Structure 1
Amino acid sequence: MHASVEPEWIPWIREHIAKVLGTGLFMDARFTRVLVEDEDGHSTFSIQYKANSKEALLKYYENHAPVLRKESVEKFGERVLSFRTELELIDEYNVRRN
């Protein structure tokens, strides 16, 4: 998205994330800025949701995603580009400090 959209979009997406988590189908979400240099003044963000299960994800797609996606399109139209990518966790590593 163009950087000029950020002041409107960031508060909106935070509310959107809360709605997605409010479905009870996800354990958590991570909202990040992608650190790439864009000469055109565009910003890129990533939101990663951790679903309770594949079934929960499919239930979200069927029962909640159409309405929530429609809200985004109605508010921002083509000013914001979004897409989905499903990931499967292979391994997870953490550093534990005492």
Structure 2
Amino acid sequence: MYIYNVTINIEQAVHDQWLSWMKETHIPDVLATGKFLNAKMCKVLVDEEMGGITYSVQYTTTDKATLERYYIEDADRLRQDITKLFAGKFVAFRTELEVVSEY
């Protein structure tokens, strides 16, 4: 199993609009690609020096090949949506995690 993790810091001024959009539109759109089994959205409980509110969105997929297909077939289009709506109001970075074991 792999986790595609997107960590996003969003400005307070657009937080509520962004959070609704993430829950109602963006996460469902990512899941609709059929490449992920589920998604989990977590609020990061730290005070950022830069301000804003930070979240981690974790999408679980079965294997690296499926994640690579997401990058090729879907990622650019879905990233453009957030950039259009919230340009200059967020920073994001992405990491890939391989699940070693679960308990």
What band does the TM-score fall into relative to the shorter chain?
0.7 to 0.9
Superposition map of 1:1-98 within 5 A: 1-14=10-23, 15-38=25-48, 41-93=51-103
Ranges in structure 1 where 5+ consecutive residues have no aligned partner = 94-98
Relative contact order (alpha carbons < 8 A, sep ≥ 6): 1 or 2 greater?
2
* Identical columns (%): 39
Q: State the AA in 1 paired with 2:56.
A: S
Q: TM-score, normalised by structure 1?
A: 0.88
Ranges in structure 2 where 5+ consecutive residues have no aligned partner = 1-9
Please give the per-residue CA displacement for 1:23-81, whole angstroms capped at 9, x wherever unaligned.
11000000010011246641100100001221110110000000000111111111011
Q: Max radius of gyration: which structure?
A: 1
More strand, by proportion: 2
CA-atom RMSD, angstroms? 1.3
Displaced runs of 4 or more, over 2 A? 37-41
Q: State the AA in 2 paired with 1:13.
A: M
